[in-house]
Structures are given as C-alpha cells and as structure tokens.
Amino acid sequence: METAAQLVSIANAEVEESRKTLERLKGDVDALSDVVLPVLLKHAQEIRSARMTVVSEVNTALTAMRDVRRFFLDAAYNEEMTRLERFVSVCKDIQQLKADGVFDAVCDSAIRLAIKETQ
C-alpha cells in the first residue's frame, strides 16, 4: 500500500501536469482569439452598417408612402385629378395634331414669326 506521502506526491505531479495543460490551452485560446476577434469586429461593423442602411431606406420609403397617403386624403385630390385628366387630354390632342401634321406646321409658323420679329 502506498503511503500518504507517495499519494500526495502523485497528486502534486498530476496537478502540475494539469496546470501545464491548462496553460498550454490558455495559450491556444489566446492565439485563437487574436485571429477570431478582428474577424468578429469586422462582421459586427458590417452588420451595424447594413442595419443603419436598412433603417435609412425604410424611413425614406415610409416618408414617400405618407406623402402618397396624404395626397389621396387631401382635400385638393379631386382638383389635382381633374388637372391631370386635362393634361392627359391635351397630350392626346397634341399627339393627334402631330400625327396629322398640323402641330409641326403651327410650330414652323411660330418659329418663322419669331425670327421675323427679331430681325
């Protein structure tokens, strides 16, 4: 049977071996953290930047949507729609006049008159 001194000596040797193993593992973890930490910081910055971009884009979109909603709920909506319908009608009339050649003739006449006035 082993004596208490031998058991203590064996335990001390095992504790010392464990301490050396822990120090080696700590060194490995430190070396690994030197590699991983910069990558983590880079990814955190990229995520932060992407989040800020998304927040900015969402705010821009929400502002535009509020403006559209306000336009449709505004008291001047009917007046603006009537104005738009008249504008589209005028564009269609101009398109027809252009197809018939009347628009070009009127423009040519206006240019000739403007040239004569400047001379």
User: What is the C-alpha to C-alpha distance for residues 46 and 78, in angstroms, rounded to an integer?
Assistant: 47
| Under 8 Å between Cβ of 76 and 84 | no
Per-position DSSP letters for 70-100, written without gaps between them: HHHHSTTHHHHHHHHHHHHHHHHHHHHHHHH
Q: What is the pLDDT of residue 38?
A: 92
Q: What is the pLDDT of residue 91?
A: 95
pLDDT along the chain (119 residues), means of 10: 83 93 93 90 96 97 92 84 94 94 91 85
Q: What is the pLDDT of residue 70?
A: 86
Q: What is the pLDDT of residue 1?
A: 55
Domain ranges of the chain: 1-73, 76-119
| Distance, CA of 57 to chain centre | 5
